[in-house]
Structure 1
Amino acid sequence: MLVAALLLASCASRPEIRDPRVFDRDVAAEFFSAAFEGIYAFHIDPPDIPHLALKGMNAISELDGDFKVQLTEGRLRVTMADSILGEFKAPERNDIPRWSMLTTAAIDLARGSSKAVRNADPETLYRLIVQTAVSELDRFSRYAGAEAARRNRAQRQGYTGIGVTLRQAGQRIVLSAVFENSPASDAGVRTGDVLSEVDGQPIHGLAIVDVSQLIRGSEGETVSIGIIRDKRLKHFSIQRARVIEQTVFYRRHGNVARFLVTAFNVHTASAMRDKISQATRDIGKSIKGLIVDLRGNRGGIFKDAVAISDLLITEGDILTTKGRHPKAVNHFEAQADDVSDGLPVVVLIDKSSASASEIVAAALQDASRAVLIGGRTYGKGSVQTIVSLPNGGELYVTWTKMYTPTGYPISRFGVYPVICTNELTGGAAAVIEALEAETMAPPTHLVLRHDANYLTHTQQEALLRSCATRAIREESGDGNGDLDLKLAQNLLSRPELHTRLLAISKSARIGRSSQTSSSKPPTPSRASSLDLMGANGIFRKIQSLANEDRTWQSRPPS
């Protein structure tokens, strides 16, 4: 007992010298205190700090299976196999400083009794304990150590380098992207070049993260790289500069402008504005419309997603966020003019479109500003705030949930397109034919999506299995493997069909809202002559379930 008391008392003073490679009780206590304080202050739900701390401490058993921490009748007991290492009086539930000290004391006791724990570096212990603790909160809160946090900051805010991204291709490292107006681009480096050396050092066998570190350095310094192009070695001397990762790429497809948005960082919205201006100048008066390609975009800075939505929406809601912290509650509305001057828009989405991507897709769909094509999005539906930690790491804590302009939460079910290309039985031509004949009814999945939280479990599971992402493959007869893109181009070349599809998408929401006063499920629209449901008949199954099972949850008063 005396040893335990001394361990806790020793956490009160700060050491003068700190070596991150050596475990230090004071440093560890400061780290855990910052982590627990961040969780307590920001998480969307009130956290159970004793539960999180206990789960975190027991994660040490991954290093030594004999280690265990138990909380019984207000006493916390630390054991190794059958031996009691220490026993403590449990602090008050929200006494974060003492729970942090207890966590540190448990580590110290384990280190004194286990070689495996003693040999673990501090970062390993931090990661085990904190990641285990935050995994109890939700599936999106997470911990990043110092190195991972540094990379994440570089993606969000920029870094000092030459402006390239690297990709492993077998034994080679290829430049997968060369950012526009970057030092590398200005020097003549091209996408697809194979990197062979950095400052005279061959890179064969090195990991990408290590090669990236060789290329980066202080602003204004010069780095020499060797690349292989057309089987010939070329050398470039490039001056490092501050670089923001390029996230918006413009491609012209005839009279249609396509914008591939790969992520959302501090420059994404301004880059999108510039690219739209470039496209309208490039194509001129013959421009038919815009394609915003969000496929594979896993998100980023959510306020940039709001800003991109605002580029194309002149009025109305964009996003609402709700959380426990006062600053987590926000309502965003369109504030600016439409930079495209009302050009028709198609948004491409898939199962990897997440978070910030879902904000843009939902905002443009709910404003009847864009037609959505592709597959159901990921369904992240939450925003994480960043807590900086003393070791240079970061804690990403879920603090808000996102709600679309029409009021449904993005979480779990995501955003559904009006056309699920994976479930088309007749390809792009069938969609165009149905629109021309005016035989396409509002798709069932859109009607059901808006009330997904009030479906029965069986109906929800059926809905989640619907509208999967289509694999980009060669489509027989037309030579175009990207059906999403082809359909978008066809729609934009026929403005009247794009307008008709916008109306169909909107009518799904109107049909839904007219039935929300009832506790019964919304009745799906009658099937159209176009089979949007696919051979598996998944939506027919949902409709059947809705007709057979009327045990829906009552809607809370608005």
Structure 2
Amino acid sequence: MEALFSAANGRYTGLGIEVEEVEDGVVIVDTLPGSPAEAAGIEGGDKLLAINTHDVKRKSIAEVSKLLREAKFSTIQLTVKRANAEVTLALRRQEITLRSVSSQLLPGGIGYILLSSFNNHSYHDFARHISMLNSHLGEPLKGLIVDLRDNPGGTLNSAVAISDLFLQSGTIVSTRGRFYDANQRFFAAQGDILNGAPMLVLINEQSASAAEILAGALQDNSRALILGNRSYGKGSVQSLIPIGNGTTALKLTTARYFTPSGQSIEGTGIQPDVIFSKQVLLELDKDAIMAGEKKVRQTFIANLDKHWQEAEQLLQNHNLQQ
């Protein structure tokens, strides 16, 4: 229970790896900034082979997580397959602060915000980064790119609040379930932090849950053009139900998420307005963009420049219909 609440509050103790279950085992998708995994040299694409002396080939994520939790030593040896070699790296658990928002000012007065997860601090951090970008530019942003690739989701409240930053009215998301309390609808209040500047949102097959709520709200309300690949399709509402003396809880699925148009997210995901090939998405490397690598930024801008006009037209059509 403590681990679940800690993640929502933006901190937890661990190694800082994001993993994906594949047909023959578990692959590391990414490492968290400033984490033990990043410091040890773990890389996205590394396939887990062993934890200490335990073979984890063909193990599930649940089995791998159990081994990591129950590891007796403070230093954990991870053996991974990288290209055609096996590499063993030593990691030590530590408390990790989840920095969910980072940003860059791109040429032409375009803001870029990378949102890696949704926790209880994400809304305030997101708004602060927009203010910082405006300040660095010296005037309001001409447009905003929100990168939700590989964002596994997080808290519902932060997804709703961030959506509301850009929407003047309309439904953000609704939930439907078997119990009365599970049926809710969340609406936008007037006010757009970008003052109507166009938006592009990037998603991929690892964008899930709260990331899909944000993308769906902006898409269905004609506020942003969605680019990339169809998202993961995790549209279930999970509730923590304390039991016993309050130190343990059950995590139950109690409802499902629906976009403003009434589309279920569960198992369906968000279909982008513009589909990018996986190769193009790989070329638009998030870390390289944040590091300010010139070549990647040029590729990034070249791939997205042609879509600003579509995003502007989307807003114009929406305003005419209102």
Equivalent residue for 1:238, pick from 72, 87, 92: 92
Which residue does 1:472 correspond to in 2? 277
CA contact (8 A) 1:160 1:217 kept: no
Q: CA deviation at 1:345?
A: 1.2
Instruction: Write the deviation string for residues 330-367 of structure 1: whole angstroms up to 9, x where unpaired.
Output: 544338772x5765311245788665345423543566
Using structure 2 for the length normalisation, give the TM-score: 0.60
Pairing 1:334–2:189 present: yes
CA contact (8 A) 1:375 1:420 kept: no
Kindly indicate which of the two structures has a greater share of residues assigned to strand: 2
Which residue does 1:180 correspond to in 2? 33
CA contact (8 A) 2:103 2:111 kept: yes
Kindly indicate which of the two structures has a greater share of residues assigned to helix: 1
Change (3 A) 1:162 1:410: same
CA contact (8 A) 1:380 1:410 kept: no
**Any idea what SS the aligned residue of 1:312 has?**
coil
Distance 2:118 2:19 in 1: 19
Pairing 1:489–2:305 present: yes
Which residue does 1:394 correspond to in 2? 251
**Any idea what SS the aligned residue of 2:253 has?**
strand
The Cα RMSD (Å) is: 5.4
CA contact (8 A) 2:123 2:158 kept: yes
- Where do 1:96-495 residues align within 5 Å? 156=8, 159-167=12-20, 175-185=28-38, 187-192=39-44, 198=51, 200-201=52-53, 203=55, 205=57, 207=59, 208-216=61-69, 222-225=74-77, 235-236=89-90, 238-241=92-95, 244=98, 256-259=110-113, 261=115, 264-273=118-127, 276=130, 288-294=142-148, 299-313=153-167, 315-319=168-172, 321=174, 325=180, 328-329=183-184, 331-334=186-189, 338=193, 343-348=197-202, 356-365=210-219, 369-373=223-227, 383=237, 385-387=239-241, 393-398=250-255, 402=258, 404=260, 408-411=261-264, 420-421=273-274, 470=275, 472=277, 488-492=304-308
With a CA cutoff of 8 Å and minimum separation of 6, indicate the structure with the bigger relative contact order: 2
Instruction: Write the deviation string for residues 249-293 of structure 1: whole angstroms up to 9, x where unpaired.
Output: 767876655445465444543554465567667888797532224
Which residue does 1:447 correspond to in 2? none
Residue 65 of structure 2 aligns with an amino acid whose one-letter code is S
Change (3 A) 1:170 1:248: farther
Aligned length: 294
Instruction: Write the deviation string for residues 277-311 of structure 1: whole angstroms up to 9, x where unpaired.
Output: 67667888797532224467675432121121133
Residue 177 of structure 1 aligns with an amino acid whose one-letter code is D
Residue 199 of structure 2 aligns with an amino acid whose one-letter code is V
CA contact (8 A) 1:319 1:402 kept: no
Distance 1:416 1:168 in 2: 21
Change (3 A) 1:236 1:330: same
Which residue does 1:504 correspond to in 2? 317
Q: CA deviation at 1:196?
A: 6.5
Distance 2:236 2:14 in 1: 32
Instruction: Write the deviation string for residues 77-109 of structure 1: whole angstroms up to 9, x where unpaired.
Output: xxxxxxxxxxxxxxxxxxxxxxxxxxxxxxxxx
Residue ranges of structure 2 left out of the alignment (5+ in a row) = 286-299
Distance 1:298 1:222 in 2: 27
Distance 1:177 1:250 in 2: 18
Distance 1:401 1:161 in 2: 30
Distance 2:54 2:279 in 1: 39
**Any idea what SS the aligned residue of 1:225 has?**
strand
Distance 1:236 1:351 in 2: 30
Change (3 A) 1:277 1:209: farther
Distance 2:236 2:191 in 1: 25
